[in-house]
């Protein structure tokens, strides 16, 4: 058995039409998994899947809003119906909202927490039965170093990502007896579409780079190897962990 092989595995990756989700889907597919890409936009999904298929990766699409539990249930039932199982869940979809504290509305808070935290719980709940039945499964959630360090104006995002790390640990505790591992990946600053506006600010880019031990922002593909490790037999005894992928930013003290 090849430790990092995902041949024969089926993976659902949410928020996978671009950015980190797409990068993780590509890496899982390169390792042999059939990857099911999710986002809310069917056209974007089909374009993303076409790119992977052109690389001989087995890719499918499942367009639904992760906050729509009935739609998520139908999608996961469809995957299990087609493939007989769902081996890997990557809960990556999320949103952001930036405002000074005095300008936040309750609806802003609820929208971010629902998408970034609650949706991951319900996806895990929907995915668990198939994994329990076969006594094998992998759940991987995308958190953030913001959930560790905090940052002004992104209060709901910081709270949701910190909560998601806690949820990862509680799921790991409950599902471990079924040979299901649950882990989180906490990215630092990556050159993705969601950060396009931030990257236009040269001073901000330089400020972040100066605080990173490797002195640069990450490329999306640099998250893929960690996802493959956690999804494969190589990570079979790793559970309840949050692996930080930030180029050393949270370990570096800048005076």
**Full residue range of the structural domain in which residue 26 is found:** 10-243
Q: Annotated active-site positions, please? A: 157
pLDDT tens sequence across 21-72: 999 999 999 999 999 999 999 999 999 999 999 999 999 999 999 999 999 9
Assess if residue 250 is contained within a domain.
no
CA 77 – CA 197 distance, rounded (Å): 37
Is residue 173 in some structural domain?
yes
Max Cα–Cα distance, the chain, nearest Å = 56
Q: What is the DSSP letter of 217?
A: P
User: What token pair was written down for 50?
Assistant: 């076409």
pLDDT in tens, 201-212: 999 999 999 999
Asked if residue 161 is part of any domain, the answer here is yes
> pLDDT-derived band of residue 254, with 50, 70 and 90 as boundaries?
low
Whether 166 is in a domain gets the answer: yes
Domain at 36, CATH number? 3.40.50.720
Asked whether residue 209 is assigned to any structural domain, the reply reads yes
Q: Is residue 233 part of a domain?
A: yes
| pLDDT one-digit tens code per residue, 63-112 | 999 999 999 999 999 999 999 999 999 999 999 999 999 999 999 999 99
| Torsion-angle region of 240 (φ positive above 0: left; ψ -120 to 50: alpha; else: beta) | left
Query: What is the pTM assigned to this prediction?
Result: 0.96
Virtual CA dihedral for 230, 234, 236, 182, nearest 10 degrees? 0
What is the number of structural domains in the chain?
A: 1
pLDDT value of position 199: 86
- Position 32 in a domain: yes
The pLDDT of residue 203: 94
Q: Is residue 4 part of a domain?
A: no
């Amino acid at each position: 058995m090849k430790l990092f092989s995902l041949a024969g595995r089926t993976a659902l990756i949410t928020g996978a039409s671009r950015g980190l989700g797409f990068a993780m889907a590509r890496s899982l597919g390169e390792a042999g998994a059939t990857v099911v890409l999710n986002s809310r936009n069917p056209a974007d999904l089909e374009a993303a899947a076409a790119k992977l298929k052109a690389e001989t990766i087995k890719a499918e699409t499942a367009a639904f809003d992760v906050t729509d539990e009935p739609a998520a249930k139908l999608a996961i039932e469809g995957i299990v119906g087609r493939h007989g199982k769902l081996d890997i869940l990557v809960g990556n979809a999320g949103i952001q909202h930036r405002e000074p504290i005095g300008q936040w509305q309750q609806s802003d808070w609820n929208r971010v927490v629902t998408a970034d935290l609650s949706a991951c719980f319900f996806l895990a709940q929907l995915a668990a039965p198939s994994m329990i039945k076969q006594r094998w499964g992998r759940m991987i959630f995308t958190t953030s170093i913001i959930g560790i360090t905090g940052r002004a104006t992104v209060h709901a995002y910081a709270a949701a990502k910190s909560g998601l790390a806690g949820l990862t640990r509680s799921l790991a505790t409950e599902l471990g007896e079924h040979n299901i591992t649950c882990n989180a990946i906490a990215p630092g600053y990556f050159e993705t579409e969601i950060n396009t506006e931030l990257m236009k600010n040269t001073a901000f880019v330089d400020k972040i780079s100066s605080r990173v031990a490797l002195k640069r922002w990450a490329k999306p593909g640099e998250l893929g190897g960690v996802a493959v490790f956690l999804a494969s037999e190589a990570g079979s005894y790793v559970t309840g962990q949050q692996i930080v992928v930030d180029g050393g930013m949270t370990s570096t003290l800048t005076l």
